[in-house]
Structure 1
C-alpha cells in the first residue's frame, strides 16, 4: 500500500507541474517575473538539478553539476531540451527510489545539511514540494509575460 501512495504522490506532482513545464520553450525561457528574478530557464534547470542532487541522500548519487543552487542566473537553463532530459532523469530516479525502498525504509533517518536529520519520506515530500513551488513561479511568470 505504501508503495502505491508514493507512486500516486509522484504522479500527481508530475501532472501538476507539467502544466507549467510543458509551456516552456526556447522563446520564453529567458522571461523573468521581474528584473531581479531568475529566468524561467534557470528555475526549470534548478528544479531538475536539485531533484538529481538530492538523490545523493537516498544513496542514488548523480553526476549532474550544480549550476543553479546558490548561483546567479547567467543563462543556465537556456537549453530547454537539455533541462527537460535532466528533469525526466530526476523523475525516473524518484520512481526507482519508490521501487527500491521497502515500506519500513521510508522511516529511515537521513542526515542533511539543510534540514538536519529527517526521514526518507519527509525528504521525498520536500522534493515534491520544491518542484511544485518553483513550477508555480514558472507558471506565474508565463501568465504575466
Structure 2
C-alpha cells in the first residue's frame, strides 16, 4: 500500500505543477515579481535541475548540471522545451524511485549534498515540496509580474 500512496502523491504533485508550468510561454518566461526575484524561466529550469540532482542521492545518476543551484538569475534565457524535458524526465525518475525502492529502504538514510544524511522519504518529500514552492512563485510571477 505504501507504494500506491507515494505514487498518488507523486501523481498529484505533477498534476498541480502542470497547472502552472503549462502556462509558461516565451512572453512570460522573463517575468519577475521584482528586480531582486528570479524570472519564470529561471525558476522553471531550477525545478527540473533540482529534481535530477536530488535523485542522485537515491542512486540515480544524471548528467544534468546545476546551472541554477545557488545562483542568482542573471537574465539568461532558458529554452523552455529543455526545461519541460528536464521536468518530465525528473518526474519519470521519481516514479522509478517509488517503484524500485522497498518499503524498508524509505526510512534508511542517504547522504545528500545540501541536507546531510536524511531518510529517503524525507528527501522525496523535500523534492515534492520544493517543486510546489517554486510553482507558487511561477504562478505569482505570471499573474503579477513583468519584465524588469
TM bracket (short chain): over 0.9
Partner of 1:125: 125
Matched, 1:48 2:41: no
TM-score relative to the length of structure 2: 0.93
1:22-71 CA-to-partner distances (Å, cap 9, x unmatched) read 10011110111111111000000000000001111000010001110011
Matched, 1:39 2:68: no
Partner of 2:94: 94
Query: 1:18 deviation in Å?
Result: 1.3
**2: CA distance, partners of 1:35 / 1:47:** 20
Contact 1:2 1:103 (C-alpha < 8 Å) held by counterparts = yes
Query: 1:141 deviation in Å?
Result: 0.8
Matches within 5 A, 1:1-145: 1-76=1-76, 78-145=78-145
Displacement over 3 Å in runs of 4+: none
Contact 1:26 1:78 (C-alpha < 8 Å) held by counterparts = no
1:91-134 CA-to-partner distances (Å, cap 9, x unmatched) read 00000001111111101111223222211001000000000000
The alignment yields a C-alpha RMSD, in angstroms, of 1.1
Contact 1:77 1:83 (C-alpha < 8 Å) held by counterparts = no
For the residue of structure 1 that corresponds to 2:118, the secondary structure is strand
Comparing both chains, which one has the higher relative contact order based on Cα–Cα distances under 8 Å and sequence gaps of 6 or more? 2
For the residue of structure 2 that corresponds to 1:99, the secondary structure is helix
**1:76–1:121: structure 2 CA closer, same or farther, 3 Å change rule?**
farther
Contact 1:55 1:93 (C-alpha < 8 Å) held by counterparts = yes
- What is the aligned residue count? 145
